[in-house]
């Protein structure tokens, strides 16, 4: 079954820690019993959450053992835990937990090393807090340049703008990294009314990727941005679980009417993201 998920990105709020991030959630609560002075049994609500932590390097994600800190409503610490060897934390939280923070070491694009704190606010009543990513940047991922053969593009070459799946205009080469198993392209009609996608296997016996008109067989499906209230950014993207990669990103700014697209025949998991 194809999955289309609306993921609003909640605007960050500052408590004691810098807050950022956001994900979909589900309602969850369990109850235990507490006896009062008058021997009346009163149910006490307990909450179970689950989350996943990943290290991200060279376009690949891998499970990461991160620290999870539980906060009360004022940001004070109520305790901590760690994700397991699969990067998963799935357990109850201390009573009074209102927010959580996930901490991990990162290396950014400037090769600066530091501990990143990602805080998720107002988690009461929520179950699935989603994925948390920690970048482990390296300058050399072992990527190589492949030549693009575009001689058989036909009408696609004349009437469409050729791009990578992230929207960068295609040149005569494309970068292929060791983690890549396929290469993804999109063609956007010059009139903006049509978008097609192509997915090709990486050649094993040459460093040339041959693009043909018939390769663009995946039709884009338009997703209309929600302009019912002010927002600064909207985007769509698809996720490919087997490759642990997002592909086919489209975006539009505040009050923008640029069309957003998904490709259901390529990506089973498709997301619409809007910042408020």
* DSSP 8-state class, residue 170: P
Question: How many other C-beta atoms lie within 10 A of the C-beta of residue 102?
Answer: 25
pLDDT tens track of the chain, all 276 residues?
A: 433 333 333 323 233 343 333 343 344 444 445 555 555 655 567 899 999 999 988 878 899 999 999 999 999 999 999 999 999 999 999 999 999 999 999 998 888 999 999 999 999 999 999 889 999 988 888 899 999 999 999 999 899 999 999 888 999 999 998 888 899 999 999 988 899 999 999 998 999 999 999 999 999 999 876 665 555 678 888 988 877 778 888 877 655 567 888 999 999 888 887 766
231-237-238 Cα angle (round to 5): 150
Burial 142-176 (b: 16+ CB within 10 A, else e): eeeebebeeeebeebeeebebbbbeeeebeeebeb
Task: Sketch out the chain's domains with CATH numbers.
Answer: 8-33+43-135 (2.60.40), 144-275 (no CATH)
């Amino acid at each position: 079954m194809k999955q289309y998920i609306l993921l609003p990105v909640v605007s960050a709020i500052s408590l004691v820690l810098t807050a950022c991030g956001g994900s979909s959630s589900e309602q969850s609560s369990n109850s235990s019993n507490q006896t009062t002075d008058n021997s009346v049994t009163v149910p006490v609500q307990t909450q179970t959450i689950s989350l996943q932590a990943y290290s991200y390097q060279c376009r690949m994600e891998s499970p990461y053992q991160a620290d999870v800190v539980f906060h009360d409503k004022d940001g004070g610490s109520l305790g901590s835990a760690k994700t397991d060897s699969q990067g998963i934390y799935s357990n109850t939280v201390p009573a009074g937990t209102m927010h959580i923070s996930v901490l991990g070491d990162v290396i950014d694009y400037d090769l600066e090393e530091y501990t990143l704190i990602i805080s998720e606010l107002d988690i009461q009543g929520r179950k699935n807090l989603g994925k948390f990513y920690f970048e482990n940047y390296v300058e050399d991922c072992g990527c190589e340049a492949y030549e693009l053969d575009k001689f058989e593009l036909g009408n696609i070459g004349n009437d469409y703008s050729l791009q990578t799946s992230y929207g960068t205009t295609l040149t005569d080469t494309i970068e292929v990294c060791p983690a890549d198993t396929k290469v993804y392209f999109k063609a956007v009609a010059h009139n903006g009314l049509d978008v097609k996608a192509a997915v090709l296997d990486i050649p094993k016996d040459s460093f040339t990727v041959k693009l043909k008109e018939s390769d663009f067989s995946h039709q884009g499906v338009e997703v209309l941005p929600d302009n019912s209230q002010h927002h600064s950014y909207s985007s769509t993207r698809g996720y490919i679980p087997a490759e642990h990669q997002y592909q086919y990103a489209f975006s539009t700014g505040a009050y923008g009417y640029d069309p957003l697209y998904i490709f259901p025949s390529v990506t089973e998991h498709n997301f619409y993201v809007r910042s408020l």
